[in-house]
Amino acid sequence: MSEEALRQAAAARKKDHIALARHSKRPEENDFDKIFLVRPTLPETISNSTNTECNFFGFRVQAPFFINAMTGGIEEGDSINRSLCKASEENGIPMAFGSASFVEINPDALEGFVEARKLTNQPVLVNVNANTDVKTVKLLVKSLDPIALQIHVNAVQELVMPEGNRNWIWKEKIGSIREAAGVPVIVKEVGFGFDVASIKALAEMGIEAVDVSGKGGTNFCDIENCRRERGDFSYLSECGFSTVQSLINARFARELLSLPEEEEEEEGISLPEVIASGGIRNPLDILKSLALGAKWVGVSGQFLSTLLSSGEDALVEEIGEWKEQLSGLISLYGQSSTDSCQYIPWICDVELESYARQMARLISPGEI
């Protein structure tokens, strides 16, 4: 396939993703509904608007949640990114660009990312796939000044995607990109979650953060299946781990690495910071993510839906409301900061309890 044909195919795919995401139905219920936080009747706290502030890779931001990667590189995607950057700036939260690997085959696409980047002084993340050439990675880092780099891993999506890449030998490539990037690296799923062994492997590689991006929100199996003319893959719609299951898996990974709950290094290995994303519907889901051990929380589908249906001002207002409500929830559950939310007691329903028990039996150190 010629370079021009590759560019046209990639641009068409990005357009398809936006159109299908616009009309896709996200589940009304997910595994966050199976987690119950223990609320103190006597919180002994005073609600204040600053208790949501936290550090994001060393940068002070107003909330522990951010606008996660969605799109970019085509006209409609660039327009979306400009609106997302404005919402980021208005609310003092980070923002992640959608995959910029497209720049490798279409250098002109970089300009759209650059123009959007000018609209926010908040931290941004740049997103690439694991097969991206290190020269392109260096160009993106130099041009967009990200605080960290997301590398997305998406085997299920690539399998169902009609033109998908079936080469999933990624660890060496991730290591090369990390060496070249010069900024912290986040390895990110795209809605199918993370298993224990993969989190452990990334920890051993020195990866700085893992975005578990679990099942429960936008379903890229369904989206890619809609793009297929033949060979139905709908049976993979429920493939993978939910966001909650993935956060539980991260806790098991910590145990396998013999790491204490507080951030310490042992034998040169530390657990990557854990980011929760996938099916985040409201501030309570954010609080539950923090209680389950996430450091930060990424939101994509909900914010994109608001932007496309109600406009930029509505998105700015929604994010502001989420910050205000999360502040109240942190105090309601007896905490004074986002960091202390990890100490909120929680219980789960029998289905999740069974999952955790069975997973515990599978992951003794000698078996993984």
Residue 10 has a pLDDT of 74
Q: Give the bridge partners for 13, in sequence order.
A: none
For 249, counting Cβ atoms within 10 Å of its Cβ (0-12 exposed, 13-18 middle, 19+ buried), the class is buried
Number of Cβ atoms within 10 Å of the Cβ of 114: 12
Question: Please, what's the b/e burial string for 34-52 (b: 16 or more CB within 10 A of its CB; e: otherwise)?
Answer: bbebeeeeeeeeeeeeebb
The single-letter code of the amino acid at 279 is G
Lookup: tokens for 4:
């021009």
For 89, counting Cβ atoms within 10 Å of its Cβ (0-12 exposed, 13-18 middle, 19+ buried), the class is middle
Pick the CATH number of 3-367 from 3.50.50.60, 3.20.20.70, 1.10.3810.10, 3.40.190.80: 3.20.20.70
Domain ranges of the chain: 3-367
Q: Which spans in the chain are helix H?
A: 3-23, 75-91, 110-117, 134-144, 155-160, 171-181, 196-205, 220-227, 243-256, 283-291, 301-310, 312-332, 350-362
pLDDT averaged per 10 residues, the chain (length 368): 70 78 78 98 93 98 98 91 98 97 94 98 98 98 98 96 94 98 98 96 97 94 91 94 98 81 57 96 99 98 96 98 98 98 98 96 67
Sign of the torsion formed by the C-alpha atoms of 212, 217, 220 and 221? positive
Maximum distance among all Cα pairs of the chain, rounded to whole angstroms? 67
First to last CA, the chain: 41
- Residue 100 phi, psi dihedral angles, 5° rounding: -105, 10
C-beta separation of 16 from 227 below 8 A: yes
Nearest Cα to Cα of residue 74 among 105, 113, 21, 104: 113
Lookup: tokens for 130:
């694991």
The single-letter code of the amino acid at 124 is V
Integer angstrom CA distances of residue 165 from 20, 91, 129, 154, 168: 20, 37, 11, 10, 8
Residue 262 has a pLDDT of 54
Lookup: tokens for 328:
């109240």
Q: How many CA atoms lie within 13 A of 213 on its CB side?
A: 27
